[in-house]
Amino acid sequence: MNLPEDFVTKYTRLLGDEAPAFFASYDLPAHRAFRINPLKEQEKLSDTNAQGQLPYGKWGYLGGVAGHSVDHVTGLVYSQEPSAQFVGEVLAPQPGETVLDLAAAPGGKTTHLASFMQQKGLLWTNEIFMNRAKILSENVERWGVENAVVSSQSPDQLAKRLPEFFDKILLDAPCSGEGMFRKDPAAMQYWSEDYPAECASRQREILTETVKMLKPGGTLVYSTCTFAPEEDEQMVAWLLENYPEFEIDPIEKPADSGIQDGRSAWSNSTIDMSGTARLWPQDLPGEGHFVARLKKRQEEGGEAAQIKAFKPANLPAEQKVLLKEFLAATCPGLTCPADRLTLFGDHLFLVPAGTPDLTKFKILRAGLALGTFKKKRFEPDQALALALHPSQVSQSYALDENDWARYVHGDVIQTDSDLQKGWVLMTANGNGVGWAKYSAGQLKNFYPKGLRFLVQKDKA
């Protein structure tokens, strides 16, 4: 790979004897990996190519995932570069906590955090650019996450409305992307000798707002996919020098993982960086990452910030009846407390417990999308199909290989199954795929038109 000349000069100076192995790693193939979704039924993995488990976490594996496979479409697996998977393991949120993923698109780290939280607590996931936020929202939906709010706001807008609100925050910061060169050579076109310093300036602006949203006693994980000291150790040093209430919470590096300590000598300070982590492409499978975990000290006598509470929707009587009838007939195992329901137009959401007031935010997803009120009926959402377990519904239909191809193509399915007229959860390998409506031996297909595809048959 033809690396930028200034990049080679810089890392020859910084790495010394380690530099040849570092540069040689760019000529090796990029590593692929994926995570298994613990929120889903895992009775069978149909189309993954697992080549060994990662040394950190219990859900990550080396290997590839096919985009239109049963596993991928049902949200059982997520393709995520190996070293990026270490970030979620470092934050490791607990069920019931209030968590922010601030720069979250396309959703790899968000879905990882959701795996830890087990649908309990509030996972607020944000992306400032709307086109990327839409991709984030789609991945949250496919993963079957019920407790996520997806927004598209700038950090300062969030900080103004949500001061000291979160128990844990992840900032996977926009960076110079030096760890992307092997996976995406086009990233080199943006790189210049001054680019890391430009990114560091933006990172300081984002961190200035980020720290305002963390509760005293809370945890902030800062990460990048670059090797630049300006954006890594020097950024952590800047944060500690300007916000003395923060301290490094040392990261445990699994034995034989190849993960190294951060470089104190690169920090332009006297601060010990050994508690931070560096993942280098010459030392482990992965493209490279820097990760720091910081703790905000609990202050004595501080007053909790006042956050405006969520106000539930006041559904008209007709909509209450339609919803009650739908839940009783279709998914009696789903609990929908009235004080957690909100409407966006005619689209009904079940917001996570602990959600604040959502007015004046640009919200793409306010928890679990239940469905849409139509004329004299309630139509369930695709997100609901992906979140529900078959045990929660009155009727489900397990797709075989031929039915799968028909369903994801949008075709009507003929069946002699003993089904009752009404909504049916279509499943594959034990997980929801979408909805169909049964009547007179036919399953009318409600798989979204924008998701439909033609299954390619293997050639003999």
Task: Report pLDDT digits (tens) over 208-234.
Answer: 999 999 999 999 999 999 999 999 999
Q: pLDDT, tens digit, for every residue of 356-415?
A: 999 999 999 999 999 999 999 999 999 999 999 999 999 999 999 999 999 999 999 999
Q: Answer yes or no: is 103 a known binding residue.
A: yes
Active site residue 225: yes
The candidate with the shortest Cα–Cα distance to 349, out of 337, 361, 359, 360, is 337
**Average pLDDT taken over every residue of the chain:** 95
Q: Answer yes or no: is 324 a known binding residue.
A: no
Q: Say how far apart CA 45 and CA 36 lie, in whole Å.
A: 9
pLDDT at residue 403, as a whole number: 96
Flag whether pLDDT at 95 surpasses 90: yes
Q: Answer yes or no: is 318 a known binding residue.
A: no
Q: Say how far apart CA 270 and CA 272 lie, in whole Å.
A: 6
| Residue-by-residue DSSP string for 103-129 | S-TT-HHHHHHHHHHTT-SEEEEE-SS
Q: What is the mean pLDDT of residues 8-35?
A: 95
Q: Answer yes or no: is 155 a known binding residue.
A: no
Q: What is the mean pLDDT of residues 57-79?
A: 92
Q: Answer yes or no: is 104 a known binding residue.
A: yes
pTM of the model: 0.96
Q: What is the mean pLDDT of residues 85-109?
A: 98
Q: In which band, very low, low, confident or very high, does the pLDDT at 48 lie, cut at 50, 70 and 90? A: low
More confident residue, 372 or 417: 372
Q: Answer yes or no: is 339 a known binding residue.
A: no
Flag whether pLDDT at 459 surpasses 60: no
Flag whether pLDDT at 14 surpasses 90: yes
Q: Answer yes or no: is 106 a known binding residue.
A: yes
pLDDT at residue 460, as a whole number: 41
Query: Which residue among the candidates 175, 225, 331, 336 is catalytic per the annotation?
Result: 225
pLDDT at residue 66, as a whole number: 86
CATH node for 5-296:
3.40.50.150
Q: Answer yes or no: is 172 a known binding residue.
A: yes
pLDDT at residue 42, as a whole number: 80
- The answer for 11, left when phi > 0, alpha when psi is -120 to 50, beta otherwise, is alpha
Q: In which band, very low, low, confident or very high, does the pLDDT at 244 lie, cut at 50, 70 and 90? A: very high
Q: Say how far apart CA 285 and CA 207 lie, in whole Å.
A: 29
Q: Say how far apart CA 368 and CA 135 lie, in whole Å.
A: 16
